[in-house]
Amino acid sequence: MTPDTWDLVQEALWPLLRGTLVGTIPLALVSMALGLVLALAVAFARLYGSAPLRWLARAYVSVIRGTPLLVQLFIVFYGLPSIGLRIDPWPSAVIALSLNVAGYAAEIIRAAIQSVPKGQWEAAYTVGMNRRLTLQRIILPQAVRVSVPPLSNSFISLVKDTALCSLILVTEVFREAQEIAAASGEFMTLYVMAAVYYWVVCLALSAGQSRLETRLERHVAH
């Protein structure tokens, strides 16, 4: 590494960190939170909704899982203005990412709920619980423990997917790397630095996932 390249690395450390802390992580957190709310609604619609509602939920999951995230981002940011709906880059990214993660998380939640033995429902009905109370007190707590690992993996994937948002002008870590690389010509150096930032964040999330799974296992054991 030449002295000039080393100086560039030092100068780029803060902009990339800022892009991570202000762009990538908040974008992933907000999108995941909104996506989980929508995913829960879609999962419930598939399981307990009327026939038309179940059909709409299945269609939504099919469309989201059957189309690339990049195309979804472009539809929201570049496509909607053609019909009079112009949305700023950051909200556009949140909308597209939330809709995308919901399509996958809905199936995870649905499968987790269905994994709870039917005897749990029957036992709850026997003691006088209705469907809402059974879901709230018996089914969902067990489903949460089952769904934590795959949902955690979805969140880690979502963090990496935020890099695509640079293509719709969202300022996050990869966008920062692109701008510095374009000005300096050090594309390899800056892109490797961006990759390291994503890697460190994903390592931290993986460690948190392991701790959470361990705590849930201990809770079940007790």
- Taking only the tens place, the pLDDT of each residue in 131-166 is 788 888 888 888 888 898 899 999 999 999 999 999
Residue for token pair 């990412």: 97
- pLDDT of 127 > 90? The answer is no
Q: Give the per-residue pLDDT at 190.
A: 94
Predicted pLDDT of residue 221: 45
* pLDDT averaged over every residue in the chain: 90
Span 183-203, average pLDDT: 94
Q: Is 159 exposed, middle or buried (0-12, 13-18, 19+ CB in 10 A)?
A: buried
What is the C-alpha separation between 64 and 177, in angstroms, rounded?
Answer: 29
Residue partners of 89: CB distance under 8 A and separation at least 6: 77, 165, 168, 169, 170
Instruction: Please give the Cα distance from 180 to 72 (Å, whole number).
Output: 27
Helix or strand or coil: residue 186?
coil
Is the dihedral angle over the CA atoms 211, 217, 221, 222 positive or is it negative? positive
pLDDT band of 222, cuts 50, 70, 90: very low
pLDDT score of 116 more than 70 = yes
- Does residue 176 surpass a pLDDT of 90? yes
CATH superfamily, domain 3-221, is MetI-like (1.10.3720.10)
- Exposure string (b/e) for 122-148, b if CB count within 10 Å is 16 or more? eebeeeebeeeebbeebbbebbeebbb
- Please give the average per-residue pLDDT across 55-66, as a whole number: 96
Would you state the pLDDT for residue 220?
Answer: 52
Cα separation, 59 vs 57, whole angstroms? 5
Q: Is the pLDDT of residue 211 over 90?
A: no
Contact 149, 127 (CB under 8 A): no
Mean pLDDT of the 25-48 span = 95
Measured CA distances, 191 to 6, 182, 204 (Å) = 14, 11, 20
pLDDT at residue 70 tops 50: yes
Q: Report residue 211 CA to chain centroid gap.
A: 19
> How many angstroms separate the CA atoms of 10 and 16, rounded?
11
Torsion angle of the four alpha carbons 151, 71, 99, 107, in this order, in degrees rounded to the nearest 10: -50
- Predicted pLDDT at 2: 66
Amino acid found at 164: L
Asked whether the predicted pLDDT for residue 54 surpasses 80, the reply is yes
> Which of 203, 165, 184 has the alpha carbon at shortest distance from 73?
165
Q: What percent of the chain has pLDDT over 90?
A: 69
